[in-house]
Structure 1
Amino acid sequence: MTVDVWLPFRSDEIEGLPEGLTYRYWDGDQEFPADPADCAFYAVPYMKGSEIAVRPMAAMTSLRVVQTLSAGVDHVQPGLGLVPEGVRLCNARGVHEASTAELTLALILASLRGIPDFVRGQDREEWRSGFRPALADKSVLIVGYGSVGAAIEDRLAPFELARVARVARRERESARGLVHPLSRLSELLPEADVVVLVTPLTEETKGLVNADFLARMKDGALLVNVARGGVVDTKALLAELEIGRITAAVDVTDPEPLPAGHPLWHAPGLLISPHAGGPTSAFWPRVKRLLSAQLNRFAQGERLENVVLTTGE
């Protein structure tokens, strides 16, 4: 019996893979590359959706590790009840911080400085000058302060902000200061000019940004979602955008992909990017280093990094 590793890359594209394992290439194709029952390490295809991610898992009776290539793991959660006990679920912490933080800053600056309006003006040969909001002197609230949230704050540091507040599930001290618990979110929202969502999608955070959340935001504030579309109640966001009380920039939507004809496409004060936070040139070297390091640990029986949970525990 072989010890199979399913990878969404050809094994010869990744340097330093350990010997003694059988590498199978599978990036979500209809046909499986081998018998799923022989798969011990499953690296989930990237950005192919939950249906594809979960499809082979029920048959993976020898599975020991599920490795996502994303920071979030919500797309594989439906399959965890189908696999044996003791399977370690690992995320891609360390892969997406740089790219997602870059996009977050781009969305903030583009929204505040009116870049979409400039582009529309250029298309129509119109000189649309005037005063625009600056990021300098603004107060920013980061909701979901993990490694990506910290990377975003690192990149905000040179912009002469008035304040950065941080929120996570539990209160703790970070390298840059106090991280408030989620229970304090309602009192922090009215103080923020920019609210950045970078929290994982869980039962606790699904629909977190509802009508009450949005109503507590300051008039004229900017909401930026680089987390998951399901964190935001789409109807509630549309209602606030339609009256023009706040603006928003979203890299993720609910539903996603956003279908043609959906009212979000033409909502006033909204900038949409097509889930572009992770897939950049920075992804490839980082994810290949992660897979190589994880597989060497796996082959040597060492403790894996980025373990989110173990099934059956």
Structure 2
Amino acid sequence: MSARYLLPYAPDAIGGLPDGIEAVVWDGNGPAPEAGALRAVEFFCLPYMRHAAALPLLPTLPALKLVQTLTAGMDDVLPHVPAGVAACNARGLHDASTAELAVALVLASLRGIPHFSRLQAEGRWSQEFHQSLADRRVLILGHGSIGQALAARLLPFECEVVPVARRPRPGEGVHGVDALPALLPTVDVVVVLTPLTAETRHLVDAGFLARMKDGALLVNVARGPVVDTDALLKELNAGRLRAALDVTDPEPLPAGHPLWHAPGTLITPHVGGPSSAFLPRAERLLRAQILRYENGEEPANRI
């Protein structure tokens, strides 16, 4: 029986496949399965954090009809998806984990945790005042599902959340990007959560950063190229702004890059998604999508 699915997890791990349906399992480690085993594959779920190794397979699958990612962003995948093949992202999968990391980055930066960690390594006790998240204004740039999850987590900290999306949604209190010039000078923290598109590449440029108030914090948990790295470095080196970055441009950030040692900068290596929250949500999403496909229904999160 020919396998119609190419999956990163064994069928048993996602609750099994419908009777009579088989899958080839490949998690991106080691050589890809031989072409003969993949000739009937219609549904390909790219392995998480290793999907770059899987992209060369896409044009070699003659029966391919649907590509499923386990990432929210698809900027690096879409150029490789053959014409006529559906592409679906994992909207909702990373909401909890990425929003949680964004809160952690904001809190760590405002409360001086990296500074105190360095003092601990030196065996120094130094009581100091640092900013609190309470009473701060936090602008969320990108009010999709992760942005909404972040807002829900921020509000109990007694801060004011200012949501911004591509287009305004007045009934929901969401501003459009055209309001950014007026909003940026009024906020203490900007969290970037936009997808990477032609329109958002370098959206956070020199002009954007110049409008942020002195001492403000920029947090990027979206994609590195949304921020103009050179423009950000100028502000960081001048000591006017601070940054907490889970994503960078370039990425991975090479040793010796000036961002590593820029003043007031906290860097994590693109770990918004990979946490203990990932796997159970990935398995649920993948099983639900397979059942939709088997039932002839429109797949969720189609791009």
TM-score computed with the length of structure 2 as normaliser? 0.95
**Deviation of the 1:38 alpha carbon:** 2.3
In the aligned structure 2, how far is the partner of 1:290 from the partner of 1:113? 36
Q: CA contact under 8 A between 2:190 and 2:218: conserved in structure 1?
A: yes
Letter in 2 for 1:25: V
How far does residue 29 in structure 1 lie from its aligned partner after superposition?
4.1
1:124 matches 2:122 = yes
Distance 1:47 1:183 in 2: 34
Q: Which range moved further: 54-63 or 109-118?
A: 54-63
Residue of structure 2 equivalent to 1:115: 113
Of 196-205 and 22-31, deviating more is: 22-31
Q: In 2, distance between residues paired with 1:215 and 1:186?
A: 10
Residue 263, structure 1, aligned to residue 264, structure 2: no
Computed over aligned residues only, the root mean square deviation of the Cα atoms, in angstroms, reads 1.5
**Hey, what's the Cα distance between the residues in 1 that align with 2:245 and 2:110?**
14
Match of 1:243 among 215, 238, 242: 238
CA contact 1:144–1:199 (8 Å) conserved in 2: yes
Distance, in Å, in 2 between the alignment partners of 1:256 and 1:48 is 15
1:89 alignment counterpart? 87
Residue 154 of structure 2: aligned partner? 156
Counterpart of 1:32?
A: 32
Structure 2 counterpart of 1:13: 13
1:198 corresponds to: 193
How many percent identity over aligned positions?
Answer: 55
Within the candidate set 152, 164, 187, 1:167 is matched to 164
Q: CA deviation at 1:84?
A: 3.6
1:4 Cα deviation after fit? 2.0
Secondary structure of residue in 1 paired with 2:232: helix
- Where does 1:166-245 land on structure 2 (aligned, <5 Å)? 166-173=163-170, 177-245=172-240
Q: Secondary structure at the match of 1:271?
A: strand
1:279-290 correspondence to structure 2 within 5 Å: 279-290=274-285
Contact 1:24-1:34 at 8 Å conserved across structures: no
The DSSP-based 3-state class of the residue aligned with 1:38 is coil
**Residue identity matched to 1:45:** P
Give unpaired runs (5+ residues) of structure 2. Answer: none
Q: Which has the higher contact order (CA 8 A, sep 6+)?
A: 1
Give the structure with the larger strand fraction: 1
CA contact (8 A) 2:3 2:24 kept: no
User: Which amino acid in structure 2 is aligned with residue 13 of structure 1?
Assistant: A
The answer as to whether partners of 1:61 and 1:84 remain within 8 angstroms in 2 is no
